[in-house]
Structure 1
């Protein structure tokens, strides 16, 4: 683009048609009569004749320039991967919207490569963010009023080669089993029922099905039978509540050994939920809930379960990685699923 200033005079309107207006022009009442960014046509030029301006700034498009009205949607469509749709332009940007509930995947290196082209911008939520259908996950923007076509096409090629710069992976329809130890009810009789309600709401929001929880006596043989029964139902994930995570002789750990299970990690670098543990029996992950996460409070469990229900394999390395951002204060609530619109992210019933 080539910019020029136009002063009012007898021949000021010559050659304006086809140029881009760089700023708003207002009429005598102060209302915008010709908006900035507009490619001027003869009707616009006629309106400008009656407006009280003294100097116009316009830009002439080069033959290979793409106006933002064309470049923006092209960049946005290329940036949108699976599970993402392009919304209507708003305030100079094109929103990329989650077409389904799931986890946001960002192609981080290709995103940086696209944004390295001055004049083009795609900005996103964090990689791994849990979103509901309809949430804006990213935006695409063309900063100037027009950019060279080759610049746009290069960025489009990068985005398409990556399968889109932002995707939303859907949760799979998983069956979640649960074993609740009677020790959980020793503090308060209603705890066991409250736990089932809380976990059921979370699993349902994540697209899964919670099998009826099994209540087990806190004995090695009883816990072994309960775990075996849930595994026999064909659960994809198994949750255990009521263990003493720091006791190596806790009946749950002994029962897991009896079933040939292996513990992946005991304790994680995150709070609340630092006593969370994960084991595996065959291909089924077994998750031990910390006491703080048994009911409505969001913990590290609410970071791990969505990933598992999206098909991620969570091992010791992934759990160790939770330390970055693992100080889960109120300001970090954005990391949790929005189970209820009426509450903070990560929270369900009291």
Structure 2
């Protein structure tokens, strides 16, 4: 840094905060470190007793924090995202639509391993609403070696490290199984829960079909919804290992590709995920009916945003897959399902 006369400081960058004291009113930083001095600032600075200033001395190969932050955020931003103005080397990104926030974690971790650069984000696959904050990028010092930004740009390549996948209005069918419901012995309290969760994502409910415990009737009900153009079919109940719980066998009989029967999530271990010609066919365990949050809440946003789910994706849910059943539920603003993505 160098010392110059305040009157000649227009266009220069301050190297430290400048505090202004107004007796009985305030004592606070009037100008922050990194501020670029303007013509209008000169009288204010002089009134603060600042006849001289310490400013950044531009050096070849070094970037001011704001210029570096701009280059850093451009590695992150993708469609459906808005950015904040740059301030003190920081730029924040916000969702422009409802959807699922996705991160290239390998690239993010590599960039965050570069000294003096940082990108802080929501968790991968976080369901967001328009206006939600997604991430903040920041350069730590006032000036940074340009080579560090060049390394970050090399890591990022030509594809932004973030994406925001919009939800799609899907046609969904629900198959509710079990003789106890089919014969009216008990009231159906399962499908209303599923309907409510689907409607939160704008789904169109084609209907609810009630079946007994016979696998053939469950298979037929699934196929009927698929024939009607259902883009997702959800089966409720009959998912345990009891001999009379036949839903997994019924789903297999449709010819669907079974991704996994079982997931490392509590509640929700007996979850089944399959695809029939690219259309998800799910088997939901009974916990979805009564627990506040389950495996269904973790996978549904991705399915509604057309994000394919593989067996390895379900396996990663084990880290963070234990819901603590808090008395006051703050999902998704909690650790449930947030680890290991």
Identify the TM-score tier after normalising by the shorter chain: 0.7 to 0.9
The equivalent of 1:341 in structure 2 is: none
Q: Deviation at 1:22?
A: 0.9
1:290 to 271, 285, 288: 285
Contact 1:266 1:278 in 2 (8 A): yes
Q: Deviation at 1:275?
A: 1.9
Gaps of 5+ in 1: 339-344
DSSP 3-state at the match of 1:130: strand
Contact 1:265 1:316 in 2 (8 A): yes
Contact 2:263 2:269 in 1 (8 A): yes
1:257-286 per-position Cα deviation (integer Å, ceiling 9, x unaligned): 543456443332210111222345554432
The equivalent of 1:342 in structure 2 is: none
The equivalent of 2:210 in structure 1 is: 215
Determine whether 1:125 maps to 2:125: no
Task: From the superposition, tell whether residues 265 and 14 of structure 1 become closer, same or farther in structure 2 (CA, over 3 Å).
Answer: closer
Q: Deviation at 1:89?
A: 4.2
Gaps of 5+ in 2: none
The equivalent of 1:142 in structure 2 is: 139
DSSP 3-state at the match of 1:197: helix
Q: Deviation at 1:102?
A: 2.0
The equivalent of 1:176 in structure 2 is: 172
Q: Deviation at 1:324?
A: 1.8
Contact 1:174 1:309 in 2 (8 A): yes
Contact 1:26 1:52 in 2 (8 A): no
2:162 to 162, 166, 169: 166
The equivalent of 1:114 in structure 2 is: 111
Determine whether 1:27 maps to 2:21: yes
For 1:166 and 1:266, locate their aligned partners in 2 and report how far apart those are by CA, in whole Å.
30
Task: From the superposition, tell whether residues 244 and 121 of structure 1 become closer, same or farther in structure 2 (CA, over 3 Å).
Answer: closer
DSSP 3-state at the match of 1:212: strand
For 1:191 and 1:295, locate their aligned partners in 2 and report how far apart those are by CA, in whole Å.
14
The equivalent of 1:71 in structure 2 is: 68
Task: From the superposition, tell whether residues 142 and 261 of structure 1 become closer, same or farther in structure 2 (CA, over 3 Å).
Answer: closer
The equivalent of 1:99 in structure 2 is: 96
Q: Deviation at 1:296?
A: 6.2
Determine whether 1:200 maps to 2:179: no
The equivalent of 1:227 in structure 2 is: 222
Aligned length: 332
Task: From the superposition, tell whether residues 330 and 324 of structure 1 become closer, same or farther in structure 2 (CA, over 3 Å).
Answer: same
- Root mean square deviation, CA, Å: 3.7
DSSP 3-state at the match of 2:34: coil
DSSP 3-state at the match of 1:235: coil
DSSP 3-state at the match of 2:106: helix
Task: From the superposition, tell whether residues 13 and 26 of structure 1 become closer, same or farther in structure 2 (CA, over 3 Å).
Answer: same
Task: From the superposition, tell whether residues 141 and 337 of structure 1 become closer, same or farther in structure 2 (CA, over 3 Å).
Answer: closer
Q: TM-score, normalised by structure 2?
A: 0.80
Task: From the superposition, tell whether residues 57 and 295 of structure 1 become closer, same or farther in structure 2 (CA, over 3 Å).
Answer: same
Mean CA deviation greater in 205-214 or 66-75: 66-75
DSSP 3-state at the match of 2:44: helix
Contact 2:65 2:88 in 1 (8 A): no
Map 1:79-98 → 2, pairs under 5 A: 79-89=76-86, 93-98=90-95
Q: Deviation at 1:212?
A: 0.8
DSSP 3-state at the match of 1:27: strand
Q: TM-score, normalised by structure 1?
A: 0.78
Task: From the superposition, tell whether residues 13 and 134 of structure 1 become closer, same or farther in structure 2 (CA, over 3 Å).
Answer: closer
